[in-house]
Amino acid sequence: MNLRRDVFQAIADPTRRTILLLVASQSMTAGAIAANFDTARPTVSKHLQILTKCELLKQEQNGREIYYHINAKKMKEVADFIEPFRKMWDDRFNKLEAIMKSKIHGQKNNG
């Protein structure tokens, strides 16, 4: 299993990035995290599962509740990643390519 790639995928999702921010400030239960989103609770649970699986979040039992807290060590690793930066340029260049391709077709239609 390629753990690094899993981490990339984990942070590529805006909801999961938001979860990381929420939990970064304080440990939270799944319910408290879900309350911040319009999406259905099972969807948030799925995101929590992914984040836990790739070790960005850790679970901690506190009485009857399970609290999620951030795994700072893993987060540091994520922060060093180039992938989000690469993705940003890749998106821009894909757009450039699509726009200019449409120009080629436009020219053909006009000519």
Partner 1 sequence: MEQKTKVNAEDGKQEIVITREFDLPLELLFKAYEEPELFEQWMETKVLKMENKKHGSYAFETSRNGNVVFRANGTIHEFVPNQKITRTFEMENTPFPIQLEFLEFEKLTDKTSKLTMQIVFKSVAFRNQLLQMPFAQGINMAHNRLQEIISKLK
Contact footprint for partner 1 (CB under 8 A) = 11, 14, 17-18, 20-22, 36, 78-82, 84-90, 92-97, 99-101, 103-104
Q: How far is the CB of 63 from partner 1 (least distance, A)?
A: 26
Distance CA 96, CA 111 (A): 23
Determine the residue type at 39: T
Helical packing angle, 3-12 and 14-25, nearest 10°: 90
Q: How far is the CB of 78 from partner 1 (least distance, A)?
A: 7
Smaller CB separation from partner 1, 38 or 62:
38
Smaller CB separation from partner 1, 65 or 81:
81
Q: What is the DSSP string of 14-73?
A: HHHHHHHHHHHHS-EEHHHHHTT-SS-HHHHHHHHHHHHHTTSEEEEEETTEEEEEE-HH
Smaller CB separation from partner 1, 1 or 100:
100
Q: How far is the CB of 4 from partner 1 (least distance, A)?
A: 15
Q: How far is the CB of 105 from partner 1 (least distance, A)?
A: 12
Determine the residue type at 106: G
Smaller CB separation from partner 1, 61 or 82:
82
